[in-house]
Amino acid sequence: MTASGKVAHALKTFTGDVAEGFFEITHNGFALVGLAVVLALGILAARPDLRQAGEAQLMGWLQARQVAALGMVPELDAIDRATAANPQDLPKQQAAVAYWLSRKYRVAPEPVSALVAEAYEIGQRSKLDPTLILAVMAVESGFNPFAQSPVGAQGLMQVMTGVHKEKYEIFGGKLAAFDPVTNLRVGVKVLQECIQRAGSLQGGLKFYVGAALMTDDGGYAEKVMAEHGRLQQVAAGRNVPVLPPAAPVTAPASPVIRTLAPSQAPVEPVRVPADPEKIAALSRS
């Protein structure tokens, strides 16, 4: 064998040895990694506390990375708290009402869609026309869930939270007045009681606005019924022009607190004192 042949044979042998050694090391390394993974999984399966601690640390690390990247604390359950729905998922009638209200009152269609769907559902249970419920909401707050009147009426349906605080107890307390769906449900209950007590829709609206003992409700019932009529036409598929919302109805000169008897016995509505301190004291009682 020539010198060059010997060199080539030596290089070939060296290369083969290196490759074989690398394969052995890699094979053994993967085997060790696999064994470590199996042992780790076995330990975690036997010790749920260690698994939970590891998951918590990993989640904390991931959230810290997100906070550093976004500059805000992420809340993955925020979508569950959002009062919103895709209007395209609603029945055609409800979607038409939602889009019309969205354009007129300049609010996003998604939250309005959720309120429209809720109004139709609760209207069926309470035997009230959902477009009437939405009309009251429109006149009362213009779909502002944080609206508040000088005498303490709050939220979408402008319920007197201090007077009807017991109705909010099952929702967690009076702060639920600012949850749109909760305020809607409580407001519908109050409206239903007002109509039953008055014996008519017009009389019930007069009770609702706090003008039961007065000759004039400031045009409130008329305004609600007008909006109710427009919404009925929209729901029926008619083309109803979107006009700017009218100015809020002026409250009666001597407003009456919106209240109903908590029991079977009738109770006269309580007049709101002119003194603001008395109003606050009455709301807290």
**Cα separations in angstroms, 85 against 55, 77, 247:** 33, 16, 29
Q: Give the fold, CATH level 3, of 87-284.
A: Lysozyme (1.10.530)
Domain residue ranges in the chain: 3-74, 87-284
Span 185-230, pLDDT tens digits: 999 999 999 999 999 999 999 999 988 888 888 899 999 999 999 9
pLDDT by residue for the chain (285 residues), tens only, comes to 666 666 666 667 767 665 666 566 666 666 666 766 666 667 767 777 776 777 777 777 776 776 677 676 667 777 778 899 999 999 999 999 999 999 999 999 999 999 999 999 999 999 999 999 999 999 999 999 999 999 999 999 999 999 999 999 999 999 999 999 999 999 999 999 999 999 999 999 999 998 888 888 889 999 999 999 999 999 999 999 998 776 655 444 434 445 444 333 333 333 333 444 433 443 433
Q: Looking at the chain, how many residues does it have?
A: 285
Span 61-79, pLDDT tens digits: 776 776 677 676 667 777 7
Cα angle for residues 260, 116, 165 (degrees, 5° grid): 30
pTM of structure: 0.66
- What distance in Å separates the CA atoms of residue 41 and residue 11, rounded to the nearest whole number? 45
What tokens appear for 231 in the block? 């919404």
Buried b (16+ CB within 10 A) or exposed e, 63-74: eeeeeeeeeeee
